[in-house]
Amino acid sequence: MEELLLLRHGKSDWRVSSSDFNRPLKKRGRRGATRIGQWLRDHDLIPDLIIASPAVRADATARRCAAAMGLKTSVVVNDGRLYLADLNTLLELLSESSVNAQRVMLVGHNPGLEELLIHLLDGIQPDSEDGKLLPTATVARLKMANSESSQGWQGSATLLSLVRARQLEATNSAA
């Protein structure tokens, strides 16, 4: 794997009375997922493999993002291990998916995705104005080093970009 995209699901709708797993996206979350997908398409960053948590909000984010990239939503692979996954589970998924794809996108949840990002960056936490590393509908793009030489993947990545849907919204409305 040459690149890894970590996408936190879009903003979920807490007003809907449902379990955590079944919580849907808010309108803002749907819009954010589409904007991230458009940004990835516009920058020619289409993943070879998209693995998403099967939770409704993560699955919907992945499918909206895929559609905005011009992909069929059937390319999204749900993996139950991504739902509220811890660091070790995410590292296991990463090892499995790195074999067959050059660019992989994981669509999931915090705190796991943030823990994975910090682990891959060897403990370095990117700066953010509000102190939030991966708020909803944010994608981190990572260049991966040779994973064979990285024990436990720690320090095996370089952050290329960290893009928030809200930034894209502000950019589009300013234009």
Which domains does the chain carry? Answer: 3-174 (3.40.50.1240)
Beta strands across the sheet bearing 49-52: 76-78, 49-52, 103-108, 3-8, 138-144, 157-164
At 124-168, the pLDDT tens digits run 877 776 778 999 999 999 999 865 444 568 888 999 999 999 888
At 68-87, the pLDDT tens digits run 999 999 899 999 999 999 99
Residue 141 known to bind ligand: no
Closest CA to 120 of 83, 93, 82: 93
Model-level pTM? 0.92
Q: Which residue has the tokens 């919580």?
A: 23
Closest CA to 117 of 83, 151, 156: 156
